[in-house]
Amino acid sequence: MSTIITPFTDRRMAEIVEKVRSGERLNLEDGVYLYQTDDLLTLGQLANEANLRKNGKKVYFIENMSLYFTNVCESRCAFCNFRKDQGEEGSYTLSGPEMIEYVEQHIHPGIREFHIVGGHNNHVPFQYYVDSLKALNERFPDVTLKAYTAAEIEFFTRISGLSTKEVLEELMKAGLKSLTGGGAEILSDQYRQKMKVDKANVDQYLEVHRTAHQLGMKTHTTMLYGAIESHEDRIRHMLQIRDLQDETGGFLVFIPLSMQPKSKNAGIMRRNSAYEDLKTIAISRLMLDNIDHIKAYFINIGPQLTQVSLSFGASDVHGTILKERISHAAGALTPEGLTRKELVWLIQGAGRIPVERDTFYNEIKVYE
């Protein structure tokens, strides 16, 4: 498939099209321009072309469950509505057996991954987080543990006195196989200061993933957009991820996360537009030429826009999830999960080939 240059495509966009087609990397100025252009269709076609070269028409998903051991958190990030103080109404900290009881009530034989994140609860020791994984791994040995953000790993180093490498090694002994991508927000210390991101800084976030990759772990990474950051901030974020991927090759997927308002009753002017969401997915595909997959996260942008995004560079629609809590605590209006049949229907409706995968993008079943 080739991108159509229309009479409305300006010289600058035409230059970017030629750079992408010739395999030349886009730079900061290119990325910022792509956010500024109103030529959404050429941008989408170009991202689609880039994705088809990498993945063909295959679109990936996984049968997974989202688990949250605790919502007690020492951090008070400005955008978070999930966290609670210890003893606050609605706060909780589950033991391993309590989580196993919850999982056994909801799991079905197709589940391949537990996606585990939570609060930075400094009222429990690091061993609590190790034992939580160990309990799940012993009870469900065939389910991959994709657990904790880089920010959580940095938090664990502080409460344990261990190095990043030592923390990761202890968690790997307990069954950890991959890190989640959260905690990145926008990789700008100025942004993090303004948004009160009271957790891992930019260098710490990147160093956690670098260390995980050096230990042989493949990980995920995100970008939370739609607050106070500029378009240049977003592109600089992508470039830092691209640089680390050049160094380690350890990222499986990049996940643009559309920020949710704190109230479900917030009007459309308090949410990212569909236009901005599609642009961000397409630009991510074009800037991150060394990462195989860009994920369209239906929890934040909705199933219908997720379907459209498959023509704008996305090659992954995440998974079944089952009762997502963090984005919904922040005002997401989308379903808390989708079934396998619904994900297959969504992908096929976009003219693509659904592929059920495991955490590491090994193909389990292709739905021709």
Question: pLDDT (tens digit, 9 = 90+) per residue, 278-330?
Answer: 999 999 999 999 999 999 998 889 899 999 999 999 999 988 756 434 443 44
How far is it, in rounded angstroms, from Cα 340 to Cα 356? Answer: 9
Instruction: Please answer whether residues 306 and 338 qualify as being in contact, where contact means their C-beta atoms are separated by less than 8 angstroms.
Output: no
Residue 80 assigned to a binding site? yes
pLDDT at residue number 199 = 86
Report the greatest alpha carbon distance in the chain: 63
How far is it, in rounded angstroms, from Cα 156 to Cα 151? Answer: 9
Instruction: Please answer whether residues 330 and 336 qualify as being in contact, where contact means their C-beta atoms are separated by less than 8 angstroms.
Output: no
Of 145, 66, 148, residue with least CA distance to 107 = 66
Residue for token pair 């079905």: 108
pLDDT at residue number 58 = 98
pLDDT at residue number 270 = 63
The predicted-structure confidence for 195-232, as pLDDT tens digits, reads as follows 888 889 999 999 999 999 999 999 999 999 998 999 99
What residue type is assigned to position 244 of the chain?
A: L
Residue 60 assigned to a binding site? no
Spans in the chain with pLDDT lower than 70 = 1-8, 79, 260-270, 321-337
Residue 73 assigned to a binding site? yes
pLDDT at residue number 330 = 42
Instruction: Please answer whether residues 196 and 77 qualify as being in contact, where contact means their C-beta atoms are separated by less than 8 angstroms.
Output: yes
Tokens encoding 252: 């499986």
pLDDT at residue number 1 = 54
Instruction: Please answer whether residues 302 and 327 qualify as being in contact, where contact means their C-beta atoms are separated by less than 8 angstroms.
Output: no
Tokens encoding 284: 């991510």
pLDDT at residue number 106 = 87
Q: String of b and e for 310-330 (b: at least 16 CB within 10 Å)?
A: bbbbbbbbbbbbbebbbbbbb
| Residues contacting 67, CB < 8 A, separation 6+ | 99, 102, 103, 114, 115, 116, 136
How far is it, in rounded angstroms, from Cα 112 to Cα 360? Answer: 11
